[in-house]
Amino acid sequence: MATETASRWPIRVPAENVHSNGEYPGRHLGAVFSDMLLHATIGVIVGFWLAPDDPNLRALLFCLTYVAASSVNRVLVQWAWQRTVGKALFKLRIVREDTRGRVSFWSLVGWWLLGSIAAAFGMMLEGLLNGL
């Protein structure tokens, strides 16, 4: 007889109901775009504040600040409050699928790194395809 084992992967659930199935694509997309807009806004502000006359330095500062803001929001903020700023706006939070409890710090670091590597790969692929 096979036993069913629960996954340890994090899932998103509404903040008011941790017993739902975590399928909220509209809310999730809104939260993702809100987080991306926040990270980009911080990057633009820092870029223009520190390098108003140098577009190359401004672009570098934008990229570095975007990565820093993303890591703080998606790892530290989410670890402390079980939600990013975007998830809070859309009333979502992240929990472990098996226990419905808090997701570990290292799981969040792993997910952030995986997402960052996938985004970098996608940008490189787009650059290669546009160069052909």
pLDDT in tens, 82-126: 999 999 999 888 888 778 788 899 999 999 999 899 988 988 888
> Is residue 97 included in any domain, yes or no?
yes
Residue 93 lies in a domain: yes
- The predicted structure's pLDDT at residue 13: 58
Q: How many domains are contained in the chain?
A: 1
Is residue 130 classed exposed, middle or buried when 0-12, 13-18 and 19+ CB atoms within 10 A define those classes? exposed
- What pLDDT is attached to residue 33? 94
Q: In this structure, is residue 2 part of a structural domain?
A: no
Specify if 95 maps to a domain.
yes
Residue 15 included in any domain: no
Mean per-residue pLDDT of the chain: 83
Residue 6 resides in a domain: no
The residue range of the domain holding 85 is: 21-131
